[in-house]
Structure 1
Amino acid sequence: MSDEQTPEAIGEIVAACASKAKLAAPDLAGASDEAVDAAIGEMAARLHSSRAKILAANAEDVAAAEAAGMSGGLLDRLRITEQRLEEMAEQLRLLASVPHPPAQTPVRDLDGGLRLVELRKPVGVIGANYEARPNVTVDVASQLVKSRNAGVLRTGSAALKSATALVDQVIAPSLSDAGIDPDVIQLVPTPDRAAAGALVELPDLIPLVIVRGSGQTTRDLDRRAAKHGVRTLAHADGGGVLYYDAKADPARAEDLITRSLDRLGVCNRLNLLLVHRDIYDAALPGIQEALAKAGVTPSLPPHEHPLGYEWALDGDHEATVTIAPVDGLDQAVRIANQDTSGLAAAIVTEDKTAANRFITTYTGTGVFWNAPTRLLDGFKLRGVPETGINLDRVPGPRGPVTFTDLSLRQYAVLPA
């Protein structure tokens, strides 16, 4: 490792990015709604006008990842196509059109001719760590701008060329055109993994970090941040659950299975299929046919892995779904609550009473009736891009986190 690549040097690089973002943050905090929305709208336009450079940079990332043996699911996350570029632009256009929440909300009148109001204030600088998902660069940056927070973005080597093109060709010039200091969005220029650790160790500069990804690395960053007094919105594990009830319509169930597996490298895909024991044998052929349509292999009992094992993280076996019989709804919910990440679970049934009980007793982030867990996505659910999905089981932003969640509450007592 060269002197320039020591952990200390990398920490200085991240701190320098954070300092630049913090200095620029007041400019964004004071920007008008019109300027903020103009910047986001211009990002959408520049995704079109700069698409050749963006696609070329992404092609370099994809080629390098293929040469390194990256799995198909991760390559799918990494790749930007013309269609995905258009989807990114459409999300930005919609975000620009979403009304801004009021900066001040009346709460109540107080004695002595006073009144209490609740103010929304930006956090200041928010960090974001993500790996081979270049679209997240635009998703997070636009959410930060809409919420008037500066940001420090860090991605790994697989997506760094794509992310750099998006920042240089789309995000920074769009902010400048709207009269906002482009330094409010910083991209850490080194792919070294030490930069991720440095990002969660700067509480005075970056008090909140969005940690996206799956697996042990994300969990380790979450714990590391806690030791340094940095709050995180972390998403380490995923995997959707589907309970196939005894009173399910088989055609509907098989359709849901297929639609839940349109992409295999994402967290909200079908991962675990629980089938009522009374119909297990009869339903299995249809289930296997639905899986075959999606190019997926079932993992059938007896299992040599935990029921909640997340196949999206397994590059060699990501095209797999675990199937298990259960005695009924209560056992299905217990497994979903205790043996999986708690990201999302669905029930397919024509029995309204069973569906309501499933909805009432499942404690995870998203619950679905006759709908695929793939819908657990900020844009699909709430009409705006997300910064990530927060799985916390304590009060705070939970589920898809969008710009409305990225603010601080402040109470102000004013003359009536």
Structure 2
Amino acid sequence: MTVLDTTVMDAVAACAVAAKKAAPALAAAPDEAVDAALGEMAARLSSARQTVLQANAEDVEAAQRDGMSSGLLDRLRITEQRLVDMAEQLRLLAAAPHPVRETELGELPGGLRLLERRRPVGVIGANYEARPNVTVDVASQLVKSRNAGVLRTGSAALRSATVLTDAVIAPALSDVDIDPDAIQLVPSADRAAAGALVQLPHLVPLVILRGSGDSTRELGRLAAQHGVRTLAHADGGGVLYLDADADLDLARDLVARGLDRLGVCNRLNLLLIHRNVYDSALPGILDTLRSLDIRPSLPPHDHALGYEWALDADRESTVTIAPVDDLTHAARTANEETSGLAATIVTANPQAADAFMAAYTGTGVFWNTTTRLLDGFKLLGVPETGINIDKVPGPRGPVTYPDLCLRQYAVVPRP
């Protein structure tokens, strides 16, 4: 290990130690204090608006000099309206119900009762790239679930994330007598900090990973080697299937709605068209893509069918188009060739919709609407920490505060 790596590891470990020390007090905080803290964060997004926007403008300017793509710049940028939206999401989260902490499951022999309790994890880490709003999203979810946190973002968003932590999150916690050390932001932009975060199982046993596929998968492997569990959001890419009975005007509208932002995981990535309507539907689809300045990738393809364009800074304004034999072929393609994030069918045939939705095994499936709806706030009314597409028991899809807990069985005497 180099001297630099040691320095980075020490910085991450110091954040983890501080968060772990503050975790018990946050876990014991009353509901009213937790919700008040979220309300204070919303208020401080307004009062610290100019400071946040200035820091973000500096991040964006630096990223533009470095040649960041337009889609990634869109994710990095905080606007006045986005600040308003962030504050509204915090207020809605504050008003959302707290999960029941204890549920009685039944009775056991010998005069005993069986209870199921929900407990915070303790300290949860989060690694994410150039999306400063995620700093608030994740921090607020952790506070609502009563987990302390260690957040790490890349150099592109570090100024914005630092201001959001120092001017919004920490003082909001202090205002309601919750230890502000409960939410830590790693002060280093060094990429080694991400690796350090997943090597501290006794301090940070669970880490949320968001980012590009390859780097996130590598962090997941490193975490496994060190006994750290992860909720990974490595891959995305929405699939839209035009059935033989599709309304073509609706299909064109959904194509446009699925491409309103290019740097997000749930955007339209792969467009599958039933072979019987491929020739008739394609010209209108191409017109729609042309109006959006999106390049179609048509057969024969020189890339994997499910290649995720959002992660390709040079070619993110691209959608893959391919014909399929029928809805079974479409579902199989979505299952086997893509990440399994989300797919939608466009059809006027309810039986076809039911069959496609039964055959697709991914995280979100939709009928006559866009995969852009696969989002914690749009589906559940609260921000998400990420979208988990793992095929294992546990939280799947948008991960929100009720998911960030551990189940504990308790056996107690009957009164």
TM-score range normalised by the length of the shorter chain: over 0.9
- In the other structure, the counterpart of 1:99 is 97
In the TM superposition, residue 415 of structure 1 has moved relative to its aligned partner by 1.7
- In the other structure, the counterpart of 1:399 is 397
User: Aligned pair count?
Assistant: 414
Match of 2:82 among 81, 84, 89: 84
Distance in 2 (alpha carbons) for counterparts of 1:170 and 1:198: 26
Distance in 1 (alpha carbons) for counterparts of 2:400 and 2:53: 26
- In the other structure, the counterpart of 2:118 is 120
Give runs of aligned pairs for residues 16-415 of structure 1, distance below 5 A.
16-415=14-413
- Deviation >4 Å, runs of 4+: none
In the TM superposition, residue 110 of structure 1 has moved relative to its aligned partner by 1.6
- The SS at the match of 2:124 is strand
Distance in 2 (alpha carbons) for counterparts of 1:335 and 1:315: 25
Structure 2, unmatched stretches of 5+, are none
Q: CA RMSD in A?
A: 1.0
Work out whether residues 214 and 238 of structure 1, in 8 Å CA contact, stay in contact via their aligned partners in 2. Answer: no
Q: Percent identity?
A: 72
In the TM superposition, residue 295 of structure 1 has moved relative to its aligned partner by 2.2
Work out whether residues 77 and 132 of structure 1, in 8 Å CA contact, stay in contact via their aligned partners in 2. Answer: yes
Work out whether residues 119 and 409 of structure 1, in 8 Å CA contact, stay in contact via their aligned partners in 2. Answer: yes
In the TM superposition, residue 294 of structure 1 has moved relative to its aligned partner by 2.4
| Residue type at the aligned position of 2:262 | L
Structure 1, unmatched stretches of 5+, are none
Work out whether residues 201 and 230 of structure 1, in 8 Å CA contact, stay in contact via their aligned partners in 2. Answer: yes
- The SS at the match of 1:107 is strand
Distance in 1 (alpha carbons) for counterparts of 2:148 and 2:130: 22
| Residue type at the aligned position of 2:106 | R
In the TM superposition, residue 214 of structure 1 has moved relative to its aligned partner by 2.0
In the TM superposition, residue 257 of structure 1 has moved relative to its aligned partner by 0.6
| Residue type at the aligned position of 1:347 | I
In the TM superposition, residue 2 of structure 1 has moved relative to its aligned partner by 9.6
Work out whether residues 388 and 401 of structure 1, in 8 Å CA contact, stay in contact via their aligned partners in 2. Answer: yes
- In the other structure, the counterpart of 2:9 is 11
In the TM superposition, residue 289 of structure 1 has moved relative to its aligned partner by 1.6
Work out whether residues 336 and 345 of structure 1, in 8 Å CA contact, stay in contact via their aligned partners in 2. Answer: yes
Work out whether residues 258 and 293 of structure 1, in 8 Å CA contact, stay in contact via their aligned partners in 2. Answer: no
- The SS at the match of 1:385 is coil
Distance in 2 (alpha carbons) for counterparts of 1:372 and 1:37: 32
Deviations 1:340-361 (A, max 9, x none): 0000011000111110011111
Distance in 1 (alpha carbons) for counterparts of 2:73 and 2:247: 35
In the TM superposition, residue 414 of structure 1 has moved relative to its aligned partner by 1.2
Distance in 2 (alpha carbons) for counterparts of 1:43 and 1:279: 51
Distance in 1 (alpha carbons) for counterparts of 2:132 and 2:91: 18
Distance in 1 (alpha carbons) for counterparts of 2:267 and 2:289: 13
Distance in 1 (alpha carbons) for counterparts of 2:287 and 2:34: 49
- The SS at the match of 2:252 is helix
In the TM superposition, residue 293 of structure 1 has moved relative to its aligned partner by 2.9
Work out whether residues 152 and 185 of structure 1, in 8 Å CA contact, stay in contact via their aligned partners in 2. Answer: yes
Distance in 1 (alpha carbons) for counterparts of 2:266 and 2:219: 22
In the TM superposition, residue 292 of structure 1 has moved relative to its aligned partner by 2.2
In the TM superposition, residue 227 of structure 1 has moved relative to its aligned partner by 0.6
TM-score, normalised by the number of residues in structure 1: 0.98
In the TM superposition, residue 366 of structure 1 has moved relative to its aligned partner by 0.5
| Residue type at the aligned position of 1:309 | Y
Distance in 2 (alpha carbons) for counterparts of 1:74 and 1:247: 36
Deviations 1:224-259 (A, max 9, x none): 101110000001111000000000011111111110
Moved more, 281-290 or 179-188: 281-290
